[in-house]
Amino acid sequence: MELTWKFLVMLVFGSVVIQYIIIQSLTSTSFLMCPAPFNSSSAPFTDPNTTRRMHVLILTATRCGSSFLGQLLNQHHNVFYLFEPLHHVQDSLTGENFLRQLTLGANRDLLWSLFQCDLYALERYMRPPPTNHMVANLFNYRISQALCQPPVCEGVKLGEEWSCNGCGQVNLTLAAQACRGKSHVVYKTVRVVVVGDVRSLLEDPRLNIKVIQLVRDPRGIINSRIEAFPGWYKPWYSWKTSGQRPPSLHVTPPFTTTCEELHSSVSTALSRPEWLKGRYMLVRYEDLARNPLQKTKEIYNFVGLTMTPSVERWVSANTKGANKEQNNNVYSTTRDSVANVENWRLKLPFEMVQHVQAECQDMLSIMGYRQVHSAQELKNMNISLVQETTFEPFL
Ligand SMILES: *[C@@H]1O[C@H](CO)[C@@H](O)[C@H](O)[C@H]1NC(C)=O
Ligand SMILES: *[C@@H]1O[C@H](CO)[C@@H](O)[C@H](O)[C@H]1NC(C)=O
Ligand SMILES: *[C@@H]1O[C@H](CO)[C@@H](O)[C@H](O)[C@H]1NC(C)=O
Ligand SMILES: *[C@@H]1O[C@H](CO)[C@@H](O)[C@H](O)[C@H]1NC(C)=O
């Protein structure tokens, strides 16, 4: 009898300990807790006014105008900018496939390291792996102003901008030093769209992230994707050029995924959860295009940067009228620019517009894009389809 009683007490005690261990292991955010704590006082800031480095994440989908938005921030001398660093994750893990859910953890992990200026983390996703931290294939690095100038490279200054002319491989040790010398680190990605997917980064006290979510009218997105990637968007390309709807509109991922993800992310943000307080700004590409200088000021203000005369000059030079020059670079900021933001209305067949409107209703309405109900209305550029809506940053 006595033995059974003692056994019971031990059993209860034992199970409490086991439960405690299980709960502990479930509630600790494993990968976030492992690396050494960020020692912010060891970071050499060049701007004494900045007490803590600001991390800016531009979340968007392909062909929403993010090259342009990225460039706006890239122009500031105190910004370290990378264009699509997560390209390397997708490239190494999934090849041509877009297995987004599987790559999400890797994407988040890489962003975490990159925000700490640990650029060596990119090497895990490069084939062949670089030696001596010298990298030949850093995706579109020539866009990054910080990588085209000393100490990383002896580039050439052309007008307001540094050019990477004459720069060879990137020395990631020097690039990381450049990153640590800036007050702002900015990464743009089209590979994570939904802000809820980076919630753990936003909640990490060692990071200091602000998210700029860039959205665009989905009818403009589809037109731009067809023009930039006709192979990827084959059935849509054929619909646009022939006027005949093909039996299947399937592309990978389906176009509706873009609408669903942007809608889901924006509705999360508009519900103003505590973890996004002070950290989220919604920008419509159309507003940026219509009023570039004003919008740029708002964005700079949100992330805590001061407009400089050279940034103002860059904005005026890159938004005045459409650039008619032939330009084969699909990532060019001027090609699909600003002046052409509503040109899709003159290019897409009305039936295709109707189809997209039906598929993307929720997204259109939450972001203030008006639907059209006739071909006349579609082509009448006197009627704007972008409702006057102000999305105040959630402060
Ligand atoms: C942080 O770095 C500074 C300068 O390198 C050093 O003096 C300080 O002891 C470090 N603090 C911690 C908590 O490691
Ligand atoms: C720091 O702020 C002061 C006052 O706002 C300004 O005069 C100064 O130029 C700033 N320093 C830098 C390095 O930005
Ligand atoms: C890269 O830069 C670091 C820091 O200046 C330097 O020590 C290293 O030798 C450079 N690597 C190469 C391969 O030049
Ligand atoms: C658009 O506005 C201009 C100038 O007010 C006018 O001449 C033109 O007829 C209008 N176009 C249409 C389609 O209403």
- Ligand 1 closest atom vs CA 39: 1
- Tens-place pLDDT, residues 31-58: 333 444 444 444 444 434 445 899 999 9
DSSP string, 316-361: HHHHSS---S----TT-TTTT-GGGTTTHHHHS-HHHHHHHHHHTH
- Tens-place pLDDT, residues 81-109: 999 898 888 777 765 445 666 788 889 99
CB 58 within 8 A of CB 92: no
Rounded to an integer, what distance in angstroms lies between the CA atom of residue 150 and that of residue 316?
A: 26
Best probe residue, ligand 3, of 120, 147, 170, 173 (max atoms within 8 Å of C-beta): 173
With vertex at residue 31, the alpha carbon angle to CA 25 and CA 32, rounded to the nearest 5 degrees, is 100
CB 52 within 8 A of CB 60: no
The predicted pLDDT at position 99 comes to: 63
- Tens-place pLDDT, residues 134-156: 999 899 888 899 999 999 998 88
Q: Which helix (H) or strand (E) holds 23?
A: helix 2-27
Residue with tokens 């342009």: 68
Rounded to an integer, what distance in angstroms lies between the CA atom of residue 100 and that of residue 107?
A: 9
User: Which value, in Å, is the radius of gyration of the alpha carbons in the chain?
Assistant: 24
**Confidence category of residue 213, pLDDT binned at 50, 70, 90:** very high
Give the list of residues 6+ apart from residue 43 with CB closer than 8 angstroms, or none: 53, 117, 180
DSSP string, 29-96: -HHHHSSPPP-GGGS--S-TT-SS-EEEEEE--TTSSHHHHHHHHHTSTTEEEEE-TTHHHHHHHTTT
Buried b (16+ CB within 10 A) or exposed e, 317-335: ebbeeebeeeeeeeeebbb
Look at residues 162, 184, 175, 221 and name the one whose alpha carbon lies nearest to residue 356.
Answer: 221
**Residue whose CA lies nearest to ligand 1 atom number 2:** 42
Residue 134: HSE in the Cβ half-sphere, 13 Å Cα cutoff: 6
Report CA(381)–ligand 4 centroid distance (Å). Answer: 8
Per mean pLDDT, which range of 72-76, 132-136, 225-229, 316-320 is the poorest?
316-320
**Residue whose CA lies nearest to ligand 2 atom number 2:** 49
- Tens-place pLDDT, residues 291-339: 999 999 999 999 999 999 999 998 888 887 544 443 444 445 553 456 6
CB 378 within 8 A of CB 345: yes
Q: What is the arithmetic mean of pLDDT over 373-385?
A: 95
The predicted pLDDT at position 160 comes to: 80
**Residue whose CA lies nearest to ligand 3 atom number 13:** 132
In the chain, the amino acid numbered 179 is: C
Helices (H), 210-278: 218-228, 234-242, 255-270
pTM of the model: 0.79
**What burial class does residue 46 get, using C-beta atoms within 10 Å of its C-beta: 0-12 exposed, 13-18 middle, 19+ buried?**
exposed
Q: What is the arithmetic mean of pLDDT over 105-123?
A: 94
Rounded to an integer, what distance in angstroms lies between the CA atom of residue 61 and that of residue 65?
A: 9
DSSP tag of 127: S
**Residue whose CA lies nearest to ligand 4 atom number 5:** 382
Best probe residue, ligand 2, of 45, 46, 47, 49 (max atoms within 8 Å of C-beta): 49
Per the model's pLDDT, the better-predicted residue between 97 and 172 turns out to be 172
Rounded to an integer, what distance in angstroms lies between the CA atom of residue 75 and that of residue 217?
A: 26
Best probe residue, ligand 1, of 38, 40, 42 (max atoms within 8 Å of C-beta): 42
